[in-house]
Structure 1
Amino acid sequence: MGGIQAKILKTSVDKLEPGDILYDTEIKGFVARALPSGKVSYGFRYRNGGGASKWLSLGIHGSAFTAEQARTLAKKRAGEVADNRDPVAEQEQARSEAKKEKLSGTNTVNAILDAFVKRHASKLRSQDQIEHAFDAYVRPKLGPKSIYEVKRSEIVIMLDGVEDEAGPVMADRVLAHVRKAFNWQAARDDEFKSPIVRGMARTKPKERARKRTLADEEIRDVWKALDNAVEANAVPPCYPRFVKSLMVCATRRTESARMHSSEIDGDVWTIPGERYKTKLDHVVPLTASMRALIGEKPKGNNSNSWFVFSTTHGARAFSGFSKAKKALDSEIAKIRKVEKRDAMPRWTLHDLRRTARSLMSRAKVPTDHAERVLGHVIGGVRETYDRYEYLDEKRDALEKLAGLVELILNPPADNVFQLGAAK
């Protein structure tokens, strides 16, 4: 073991024992070291213009990097030193510039989320929900940061804030969207590793399955608060109509929010399969209650088609869900405070769909027809062979639902307690 002087060639390198150092006799500073592991490392030692000793690693001997390749590289570095250059300093500068490039705007969390939405999320029916999660919770906390600098602790702090503001289920939804975006980036970026790990979720799958339905009193509170919110200019005029449609049609939030006049034919609304959960067209018979919510063509609209629930005269669908829901909850809280009642337990817009299904059972709507109103596929043989649309049956179910909602909103004076108890 020790220093050996000889021309560095494959034959001489193959004879090295662990601990041996081979100094090349032709290129000053060119060295081959036999490591304890048995591998051989090539390097180049030199002094820079200030007289400081520097060591530059050239690579590890193997099939992908031979002694001849190492010699060529050492000769090139020796030439750079002869020209008063400092190869080590130049490498450090290059790494520093590469790091700065990573920290530039093209690699911020905002930029990655933009790219993810454009190339992936835009093809999904859940695009609106994904963008809302990013805009409301992720961008304000992490948006300007480089993706290479996002830490696990920052993800956790962000989720803590979501949980405090909107509950643990929403925190898990945000986590799922961010995880997918970061994994999408990791598949395209050799150097990025997602900071999201196991154990960040706030709930278990069974806990995320909500069962909340609104009691009669709560339904009355929501309807009254919607009217109050419009009068206070806290929500746009289209918002009460939109929220009520979720109940009287038993639809999902985005399905109603993106309702378009082109989808309406007489008293039938057909939600196209490309924006419906089952990927099948869903036909909704329009009751008198729902037709009243749809209304007429918006003033100021110069086209022949429009989004029914819109703040831009039908040009774009309503999308300010979070802000409007907060305003609605605030109005509900005011009503209950004045009447000295307890605060209303946390609820979501999707709970209205679940409530509508419960009310249909209460109105004695047959189970299959109620499920068809919700767009649920009836399994088994019927799913394959039964192509009947059940329009009359669904219309009857929705009429009974509308009638029961009306009775809840305007109960006979001597029957208020009875309706609440029936719930």
Structure 2
Amino acid sequence: MATKKFSDPWLRGLKAAEGGKWDEWLDEGETGLLVQVNAKRRVRFCLIGRFPRDDGTPGHPGRRVLGDYRPLDTKDRVFVVKKGVLTLTLDEARQKAREWKAALAAGVDPSKPVEENEPDAAPPVTESSATIGEVFAEYHKRHVMKEGQKDGRGKALAPLRSASEIKRVFDHYVLEDLDGNVRWRDRQIESITRKEVTGLLDTISDSSGATQADAVLAQISALFNWHAAREDDFLSPIVRGMKRSKPSERKRKRVLSDDEIRIFWQAAGSQETFGTYCQCLLLMAQRREKIRVMHRDHLSDDGIWTVETEDREKGNVARIRLSVQAMRIIRRQPTTPTRPFIFQGRLAGPINGFTKDKAALDAKMAEIAGHPIPHWVLHDLRRTAKTLMTRAGVLPHISERVLGHAIEGVEGVYDQHDYFAEKSDALKKLGALVDNILNSTGKVVAIKRGRKAPSALNGDGLKRAS
């Protein structure tokens, strides 16, 4: 069955169905609202739902007629309506659909006459629906963390790789806000309306941008759909068309210019752990989560970093020797057996919660520059590092492996060389070029690739003895 966002111009333009059939569409703007048109061009609204049986138990999904369509402005078109059937505008049909769905949720069949529903009788006793917090706890346990679940071979399922991000979204935007104030945690899940979801997305979009609002929408939609699959009467309030941005608009091409790199480096140097963490994002070109959880046990004294691979992870740099510039920063970070992360947070774990720190970094950069810096995000440092490596003469297939991207196609299948020496050399060139940029105020000349092949290094990244 096709879906369409109903509008008066579209409804007025519906053509007659062929033969004795009814053509029908579902409304994207109101869950369960159906419009049908027959061969006589009669247009009617219906509601799809679980209408209760005579004994009060929920029935199978079915449909009931709400009324025939007749807009306020007919545009001189004659609308066929059935005698004795209520006529409705589009807005009236949507409102009636909402009222009927509320009645169905209360165990009342709104399609029957009032006396058949026995209004004087005591309403059926129903248990209160679960709260958002309770549903999320079960969702996190069963769907996200896969606790106690096994695959077809009896092997325990690994948690979703996005488990930490899912929890962050709900903790900071849905259950509570960024300041720790309760938002939806104690709300019954069936009480959440589409208008409230839209209001939440508006708030997030205004404060954190459209992309973050879409990320929250995706997680809320996943939770509601998971709950709907486990409950008979729950209908998700989320419909198509609620996203705030388009995929094409989310593709970023932002890289920092040489002047911006110098300003960024100076501003980051004035901050504490977060500033040095950002500097390493540029020098190491790795995903920010990999650097955030960097552990002292995974880094050797001579700078060889072994990156842990997670379940179902497609690409990973695996093992690489960090540049002199990166190691200079890392060695300044205090670590202890009880605080083992290179970029240690205030508590036992690594740093987290970058929103306020990033805002402070942006403000410092604007102060140094004397004007606001065009918007950039932390991931842009990784793109900048890739661009700088190309500028420094690193071949694309090497820089892709430095980034930890999965190599697709035949090359990814047949070329199993670890590229340790080549990747280490690429980071060395990246660090040298960053130094060149920081120590220059004029035009920066790209570092040319030397004639000596990377094979001058052995498998551990050390020079071979002569």
Q: Could you say whether these structures have the same fold, taking a TM-score greater than 0.5 normalized by the shorter chain as the test?
A: yes
SS of 1:124's equivalent? Answer: coil
Q: Which runs of at least 4 in structure 1 moved beyond 4 Å after TM superposition?
A: 87-91
For residues 350 and 419 of structure 1, what CA distance do their matches in structure 2 show?
23
Q: 2:173 aligns with which of 131, 134, 137?
A: 137
Q: Paired residue for 1:418?
A: 443
Report which of the two has the higher share of helix: 1
Matched, 1:354 2:383: yes
Alpha-carbon spacing, 1:244–1:194, altered in 2? closer, same or farther (3 Å): same
Q: Does the CA contact (< 8 Å) of 1:270 and 1:284 recur in 2?
A: yes
Out of 337, 343, 355, the position equivalent to 1:309 is 343
Give the 5 Å matches for 1:384-395: 384-395=413-424
For residues 131 and 332 of structure 1, do their structure 2 counterparts lie closer, same or farther at Cα, with a shift above 3 Å needed?
farther
- Rounded to whole Å, the distance in 2 between the matches of 1:317 and 1:294 is 14
Residues 243-252 or 374-383, more deviating:
374-383
What residue is the counterpart of 1:253 in the other structure?
A: 288
Which residue is 1:27 aligned to?
none
Q: Does 1:128 align with 2:164?
A: yes
After TM superposition, list the pairs within 5 Å mapping 1:146-185 onto structure 2. Answer: 146-185=188-227
Distance 1:277 1:215 in 2: 32
Instruction: Give yes or no for contact 2:268–2:279 (8 Å, CA) kept in 1.
Output: no
Tell me if 1:367 matches 2:396: yes
* Equivalent residue runs for 1:229-244 within 5 Å: 230=271, 237-244=272-279
Instruction: Give the number of aligned pairs.
Output: 316
Pair 334,131 (structure 1): closer, same or farther in 2 beyond 3 Å: farther
**1:162 and 1:208 mapped to 2: Cα distance?**
16
1:212 to partner: Cα distance: 1.2
Q: Is 2:269–2:275's contact at 8 Å kept on the other side of the alignment? A: yes
The 1-side partners of 2:294 and 2:377 are apart by: 20
User: How many Å separate the matches in 1 of 2:231 and 2:309?
Assistant: 34
Residues of 1 paired with 2:333 and 2:282: CA distance? Answer: 22
- Aligned-partner Cα distance in 2 for 1:121–1:243: 29
Matches within 5 A, 1:8-407: 58=55, 92=123, 94-95=125-126, 98=127, 101-102=128-129, 107-122=130-145, 123-139=159-175, 140=177, 141-228=183-270, 230=271, 237-265=272-300, 266-274=302-310, 277-278=313-314, 282-295=318-331, 298=334, 301-303=336-338, 306-312=340-346, 315-336=348-369, 339=370, 341=371, 343-407=372-436
Give the AA of the match of 2:341: F
Residue 144 of structure 1, CA deviation? 3.3
**Cα 1:302–1:356, aligned 2, differ >3 Å: closer, same or farther?**
closer
- Matching residue's letter, 2:256: L
Q: Is the 8 A contact 2:392 2:446 kept in 1?
A: no
Shift of 1:351: 0.6
- From the superposition, tell whether residues 110 and 407 of structure 1 become closer, same or farther in structure 2 (CA, over 3 Å): farther
Aligned residue type for 1:163: S
Distance 1:59 1:194, change over 3 A: closer
SS in 2 for 1:120: helix
Percent of pairs with identical residues: 38
Deviation of the 1:91 alpha carbon: 5.0
Cα deviation, 1:185-230, whole Å, max 9, x if unaligned, reads 22223232221110011122222221111112222222222233x3
One-letter amino acid matched to 1:134 = F
1:392–1:215 distance in 2 versus 1, CA, 3 Å: same
Query: Measured at CA, do residues 199 and 244 of structure 1 come closer, stay the same or move farther in structure 2, by a change above 3 Å?
Result: same
Based on CA coordinates, which of the two structures has the bigger radius of gyration? 1
Q: Decide whether aligned partners of structure 1 residues 249 and 59 sit closer, same or farther in structure 2, where only a CA change above 3 A counts.
A: closer
- Is 1:255–1:276's contact at 8 Å kept on the other side of the alignment? no
TM-score, length of structure 1 as denominator length: 0.67
SS in 1 for 2:232: coil
Q: Distance in 2 between matches of 1:222 and 1:110?
A: 40
Distance 1:283 1:319 in 2: 24
- Kindly report the root-mean-square deviation, in angstroms, between the aligned alpha carbons of the 2 structures: 3.0
Distance in 2 (CA, whole Å) between partners of 1:308 and 1:183 is: 39
Q: AA paired with 1:127? A: A
- Tell me the distance in 2 between the aligned counterparts of 1:206 and 1:154: 27
Say whether the 8 Å CA contact 2:316–2:404 is kept in structure 1.
no
Check whether the contact 1:255–1:275 (CA below 8 A) recurs between aligned residues.
Answer: no
Q: Deviations over 1:399-423 (max 9, x none)?
A: 1111111122221xxxx2424999x
CA contact (8 A) 2:269 2:276 kept: no
Q: Which amino acid aligns with 2:224?
A: F
Take 2:229 and 2:329, find their aligned partners in 1: how far apart are those partners?
46
Q: Which string of whole-angstrom CA distances, capped at 9 and with x for unpartnered residues, describes residues 54-74 of structure 1?
A: xx95469x9xxxxxxxxxxxx
For 2:132 and 2:188, the matched residues in 1 are separated by 6
Aligned-pair distance for 1:350? 0.5
State whether residues 215 and 420 of structure 1, in contact with CA within 8 Å, keep that contact through their aligned partners in structure 2.
no
Deviation at 1:397, TM superposition (A): 0.7
- Kept in 1, the 8 Å contact 2:316–2:405? The answer is no
Decide whether aligned partners of structure 1 residues 189 and 330 sit closer, same or farther in structure 2, where only a CA change above 3 A counts.
farther
- Closer, same or farther: CA 58–322 of 1 in aligned 2, 3 Å: same
Query: Partners in 2 of 1:401 and 1:276 — Cα distance?
Result: 29
Q: 1: distance between equivalents of 2:425 and 2:360?
A: 34
Work out the CA distance in 1 between the residues paired with 2:364 and 2:311: 32
Structure 2: state its 5+ residue gaps.
1-52, 60-117, 146-158, 178-182, 448-466
Q: Would the aligned equivalents of 2:261 and 2:438 in 1 still touch at CA under 8 Å?
A: yes
Query: Structure 2 length as normaliser, TM-score?
Result: 0.62
Cα pair 1:110 1:144 within 8 Å, conserved: yes
